[in-house]
Amino acid sequence: MEYKFYKKEIETTGSVYFLIESKSSVLTRFGDSGWTINMIQEIINNVENNKTKPKGQEYIWANENLTLYSNVNGILLIDVLSQKSGIDDTEKTNLLLNHEEFIDFMENFKKFVAENS
């Protein structure tokens, strides 16, 4: 899984966005303002704690652009924004990852946010 983090500041508002460049449009949906290392760590902890939960009892996290499901089968990320715009091709709107891939991504994202906050 290839990705690159970058920061964008909106001068007129002072808002800072932590963004992700990736071939997977689903992964880019994590990009947003307002991320803190505590928020990211909470997601990591919940994924870790729900690795063995069966489907139907999974950990769910969502924002307006993305929904995350974590259970015994791994991580399912759904690009809600693309679905709302009418894209219904699951190969474009869904991303399946194993727990380790996702946690590694989130740890790297947390490090980037910490270094750039």
Question: What pLDDT was estimated at residue 90?
Answer: 67
Residue with tokens 């489907």: 55
Given a cut of 90, whether residue 6 has pLDDT beyond it is yes
Question: What pLDDT was estimated at residue 93?
Answer: 75
Q: Which of 83, 93, 101, 84 is nearest to 3 (CA)?
A: 101
Given a cut of 80, whether residue 92 has pLDDT beyond it is no
CB 74 within 8 A of CB 97: yes
Question: What pLDDT was estimated at residue 20?
Answer: 96
Question: What pLDDT digit, counting tens, does each position of 32-57 carry?
Answer: 998 999 999 999 999 999 999 999 99
Q: Count the domains in the chain.
A: 1
Comparing 93 with 42, the larger pLDDT belongs to 42
**3-state secondary structure labels for all residues of 80-100:** HHHHHCCCCCHHHHEEEECHH
Residue 25 belongs to domain spanning? 3-116
Q: What is the secondary structure of 48-83 as a DSSP string?
A: HHTTTPPTTS-EEEE-SSEEEEEETTEEEEEEHHHH
Query: Is the pTM for the entire model greater than 0.85?
Result: yes
The pair of three-digit structure tokens given for residue 94, joined into one six-digit string = 């869904």
